[in-house]
Amino acid sequence: QVQLQESGPGLVKPSETLSLDCFVSGASISTYYWAWIRQPPGKGLEWIGYVSFSGSTNYNPSLKSRVTVSLDTSKSQFSLKLNSATTADTAVYYCAGIRDDFAGDHWGRGTLVTVSS
């Protein structure tokens, strides 16, 4: 079955870059949008962005200047980089694969990233 697993540091210092990877197994890389979503503690979901197999990206306008989502098909993984992190970026970060016909998706379990000195 399709599985996604987030990995990366759980603690990031302010002004540094928050970097996460998501390893994908059991899915065809070419038929999904590969996305990142986050959820600050006790709050709602926030869309970060996606990358498609063709390399097209779609970012949250409020984060666009700081975000890069990229895909490495050789490693079956995609990545998130969020520059100039602040305490407001503290959240559970989820990676997800959304079928390109929108009929289904698969999510990782989420990983908590805390931005603190």
Q: Which is nearer to another protein, 80 or 108 (CB)?
A: 108
Q: Which is nearer to another protein, 12 or 108 (CB)?
A: 108
Strands 32-39 and 91-99 come out as antiparallel
CA–CA distance, 101 with 114 (Å, rounded to integer): 34
The token pair at 85 is 């992190």
Q: Which of residues 21-80 bind another protein (CB under 8 A)?
A: 35, 37, 44-47, 50, 58-62, 64
Q: What SS3 state is found at 42? A: coil
Question: Does the footprint of another protein cover residue 103 (CB under 8 A)?
Answer: yes
Q: What SS3 state is found at 88? A: helix
The token pair at 46 is 């926030």
Question: Does the footprint of another protein cover residue 7 (CB under 8 A)?
Answer: no
* Site for another protein, rule CB under 8 A: 35, 37, 44-47, 50, 58-62, 64, 94, 96, 98, 102-105, 107-110
